[in-house]
Amino acid sequence: MRLGLLLLIGAVVLASESLHGQAAAAPAGNAETGKKLFVERACWQCHGLAAQGGGIAGPRLAGRVPGWPAFSRYVRRPTEEMIPYSTKTLSDAELADIYAWLRAIPAPPAISSIPQLNRK
């Protein structure tokens, strides 16, 4: 998948988030279970084990998880290249767990704390 397309996906997701905001609250999920499910249900295959994305397949999710309505809608009915997940392969409760984990991923180290990113 081309990088431009990925950025587009991100833009669509983020735009959707801004429309919906947090109006529809996410169902309660277990972040610890969600972390396991993120691996077991193959999300990591495209988005990376830390949901860091990579530019070749799935975009980064860590640090920019959209609101629940946009997120859950996209997982069920992706408008771009993403592999769709039906409720048969990933229940709403499981998706909520994954969502909880994505929301709970700690912030990465600051750019200023990484010497390799600051050399001129």
Partner 1 sequence: MANDATSQMDRRGFLKGAAAGAAGAAAMTVPGVAPVEAEAQLPDQARPAFTPEQAAQALAPETAPLPDEPDGMTVVDPGSDFMVDVLRTLDFEYVIANPASSFRGLHESFINYGGNRSPEWLTCAHEQAAVNIANGYYAVAGKPMAVITFAPSGLHHAMMGIFGAFSAHTPTYILVANILDGKERRPAFDWGPHSVVDPAGAVRDMVKWDDTPQSLQHFAESAVRAYKMAMTEPRGPVVLVVDATLQENPTGDRSKLHIPKLTLTSPPAGDAGAVAEVAKLLVAAEGPLIIAGDVARNEDGMRLLVELAETLQAPVQGGGRGMPNQHPLSGGGNVRTADVILALNEDGLYGRLNRYRDQQVRSSTPLTKPDAKVISISSYDLYMKGNYQTVERFQEVSMSIAGDPQATLPSLIEACKKLITPDRRRVMDERGKRLAAASAEALERARLECTYGWDSSPITLQRLALEVWDVIRDKDWASVGGGANRLWNVDKFYRTMGAVNGGGIGGSLSIAIGAALAHKKQGRFCVRFQPDGDMLYVNSALWTATHHRIPMLFVMQNNRAYHQEVMHLQRMANRRQRGMAVAHAGLTGSTISDPNIDFAQMARSMGAYAEGPISNPKDLRPALLRAVERVEKGEVALLDTLTQPR
Interacting residues toward partner 1 by CB under 8 A: 2, 4-5, 39-42, 44-58, 60, 62-63, 78, 80-81, 83-86, 88-90, 108-111, 114, 116-117, 119
What span, in angstroms and rounded, lies between the C-alpha atoms of 52 and 94? 20
Yes or no: say if 68 and 19 are a contact pair by the CB < 8 Å rule. no
Of 25 and 110, the one with the shorter C-beta distance to partner 1 is 110
Q: Where in the chain does DSSP place strands (E)? A: none
Closest separation between CB of residue 46 and partner 1, Å?
Answer: 6
What span, in angstroms and rounded, lies between the C-alpha atoms of 11 and 7? 6
Closest separation between CB of residue 49 and partner 1, Å?
Answer: 6
Closest separation between CB of residue 104 and partner 1, Å?
Answer: 14
Of 23 and 115, the one with the shorter C-beta distance to partner 1 is 115
Closest separation between CB of residue 1 and partner 1, Å?
Answer: 9
**Helix 31-40 and helix 92-104: axis angle, to 10°?**
110
Inter-CA distances, 31 with 28, 34, 81, Å: 9, 5, 26
Of 14 and 50, the one with the shorter C-beta distance to partner 1 is 50
